[in-house]
Amino acid sequence: MTAELPLIVENLSFRYRDRQGTAIRSISFEAGAGEILLIAGASGCGKTTLVRCINGLIPRSYKGERTGRVLLYGEDTADWSLAKISQKVGTVLQDPERQILGTKVLNEVAFGLENLGMARHEIIQRVDKALAYLKISPLRGRETFHLSGGEKQKVALAGVLAMRPSILLLDEPLASLDPASAWDTLDMVRRLADEGMTVLMVEHRVEDVLGIRPDRVMFMTEGDVRYLGPLDGLGKVVNYHEVKLPAEVIMLRAKADPPPAALNILPGVSTTLNAGAAGPGSGKEPIVRFESVAFDYEAGTEVLHGINLEIKRGDVIAVLGPNGAGKTTFVKHAIGLLKPKSGRVLVDGRDTKDASVAQIASTLGYVFQSPSHMLFAPTVHEELAFGPKNLKHPKDQIEKEVKEALQIVNLTDNEKDPPLALSFGQQKRVSIAAILAMRSRILIMDEPTAGQDYFNYINFMDAILQMPGFEAILFITHDIDLAVIYANRVLLMADGGLVADGSPQEVLSDFERLKACRLVPTSLLDVNLRKYPQTHQFLRAEALAHI
């Protein structure tokens, strides 16, 4: 019977060579054919380490002390090569930037099959089938460099599916996807499991995954398995501050607790910054102005067109839209990384064509979507000190800025760790802290909650809004609830243009427009819209429980 089980993990422990403490401890479980196992837990709790042990990257690529066994169909994989393991186990990494090697989508999806020495006609057939399965056939001839983060995630998944593994490991597969694409991916996962594939899914977006009814849930805390069992038992072992549960579930449980006293979650307290009054049309001189901005990466393919808007003091702006809508391209114009092909961008009244990125950095700090684009220093402390040093901050002030930034993102204990040795979620928080330490006037974050557990991202977003000095905050997100809770202004983008610009209630109440932009209303948005006549603002579920 043992040999028939696709996966058995026995008493597995691991400690990385370059990190203090054990990453995972004495983990044992089995996974059957056609099963979906959801693995949840705080960022850095050991989820990705477990995945690396199963797919063989530990100990072949990541060195350290490992005990226990991983069995595939009853055979210990200790002496297997990575090539042999990869024919049974397919993995989609958290950060697609680390997985994509090919310059063209076709070449990328074909890469694994070519390494197996398959015939060309079979490779092409499998590639086209994988692209069609994920509904991304139009990307076949595109250059991977010009794809959005969400598109890269889908291409990475296509490359794995083309290999036809019997076990699929998904490490934060929804992190970079717009809501509609996330639901497409979840439907695909359900379909693969129904066809007999074993799926292990590491995911922070627990509420979304609940929609496909995973067979079991594993909840991890600091390297240990705290719960492993049916879906219905999860709510009994985790509190609603740790895991993002449906709004109605949170409200039911929060009713028994005292009303929350944190920023922006009590009735009558609106989302704003210390900078003062906010919102479009506030009459204040804008810090950033876009005037008829258009841009293309490749001649004849316009990525942005007709962008006209202002960012004013006090704005907390959420930028929503489907994968490939031009959101990241838009914000890269604000910081001067890209220059308009036509039109102009003004920062503090100065055309970005006449300013260097370094000059703009004192006004706008930008957190990239992929932390691997930002992190390079040998320690977290040095990473955070780099920006303030280049901006010529006084030495004693730099130390204060670094300490405060580490505290905000809950990484005080990781000050001496190498950033790239941390989990993806922790790396993302390091990249956010690096910009916080610079004390720019405007903070721009690209997918700040990617790879983040609910507890951490709520805490650092609360802290960021309370920090003195920020005159405006702008964040790109696929998490509608992040916009619901924190934004006082929402920009909706599609096909390189601005579809809507207004208050959260104005923009997010038009469900037909949201659907057209591949956005899916959440349970928290639904409750807020129902209660809006009473509250006159959007609130998080813990506050709504006490209305």
Tell me: the pLDDT tens digits for 245-269? 889 989 988 988 887 664 344 433 3
Q: What is the dihedral of CA 175, 177, 182, 185, to 10 degrees?
A: -90
Give residue-wise pLDDT tens across range 367-402: 988 887 888 899 999 999 999 998 899 999 999 999
346 closest CA partner among 397, 288, 296, 386: 288
Identify the pLDDT of residue 233: 86
511 closest CA partner among 501, 520, 500: 520
Residue 439 in contact with residue 388, Cβ under 8 Å? yes
The neighbouring-strand residues paired with 143 are: 104
Those residues with Cβ within 8 angstroms of residue 409's Cβ, 6 or more apart along the chain or in another chain: 429, 430, 432, 433, 436, 456, 460
Q: Which residue has the tokens 């813990």?
A: 542
CA angle 40, 213, 73 (to 5 degrees): 70
Q: If you average pLDDT over every residue of the chain, what do you get?
A: 89
Q: How far apart are CA 317 and CA 353, in angstroms?
A: 24
Identify the pLDDT of residue 31: 97
Residue 338 in contact with residue 344, Cβ under 8 Å? no
Q: Is 296 helix (H, G, I), strand (E, B) or coil?
A: strand
Q: Where are the alpha helices (DSSP H) in 440-495?
A: 454-466, 480-486
Q: Where are the alpha helices (DSSP H) in 210-300?
A: 234-237, 247-254
Report, as an integer, the average pLDDT of 24-36.
96
Q: Which of 75-84, 273-282, 462-471 has the lowest mean pLDDT?
A: 273-282
Identify the pLDDT of residue 274: 52
Helix, strand, coil in percent for the chain, rounding step 5: 40, 25, 35
Share of the chain above pLDDT 70, in %: 95
Tokens at residue 134, please? 């994920």
Identify the pLDDT of residue 279: 42
Query: Of 215-224, 293-302, 413-422, which one has max mean pLDDT?
Result: 215-224
Identify the pLDDT of residue 273: 61
Give the DSSP letter of residue 213: -
Identify the pLDDT of residue 318: 97
Identify the pLDDT of residue 264: 44
CA angle 440, 445, 447 (to 5 degrees): 170
Q: In the structure, what pLDDT confidence band is assigned to residue 278 with cuts at 50, 70 and 90?
A: very low
The DSSP bridge pattern shows strands 288-298 and 316-320 to be unpaired
- Which one is predicted more confidently, 164 or 20? 164
Tokens at residue 509, please? 């109440």
pLDDT value at 284 more than 80: no
pLDDT value at 38 more than 70: yes
pLDDT value at 430 more than 70: yes
Q: Which residue has the tokens 């929350």?
A: 260
Residue 37 in contact with residue 199, Cβ under 8 Å? yes
Q: How far apart are CA 249 and CA 281, in angstroms?
A: 37
Give residue-wise pLDDT tens across range 495-535: 999 999 999 999 999 999 999 999 999 999 999 999 999 99
CA angle 174, 178, 181 (to 5 degrees): 75
pLDDT value at 148 more than 70: yes
Q: In the structure, what pLDDT confidence band is assigned to residue 188 with cuts at 50, 70 and 90?
A: confident
- Which one is predicted more confidently, 264 or 337? 337
- Which one is predicted more confidently, 37 or 302? 37
Report, as an integer, the average pLDDT of 260-284.
47
Q: Which residue has the tokens 């989302």?
A: 271
pLDDT value at 321 more than 90: yes
Report, as an integer, the average pLDDT of 336-354.
94
Q: Which residue has the tokens 């028939």?
A: 4
Report, as an integer, the average pLDDT of 121-127.
95
Report, as an integer, the average pLDDT of 446-460.
87
Q: In the structure, what pLDDT confidence band is assigned to residue 199 with cuts at 50, 70 and 90?
A: very high
pLDDT value at 443 more than 60: yes
Q: How far apart are CA 131 and CA 407, in angstroms?
A: 43
Report, as an integer, the average pLDDT of 434-448.
92
Q: Which amino acid is at 333?
A: H
Those residues with Cβ within 8 angstroms of residue 331's Cβ, 6 or more apart along the chain or in another chain: 319, 366, 444, 446, 474, 476
pLDDT value at 280 more than 70: no
pLDDT value at 298 more than 90: no
Report if pTM > 0.85: no
pLDDT value at 282 more than 70: no
- Which one is predicted more confidently, 99 or 334? 334
538 closest CA partner among 523, 528, 526: 528
Identify the pLDDT of residue 270: 42
Edge-to-edge strand list for the sheet holding 64-72: 24-31, 7-16, 64-72, 75-76
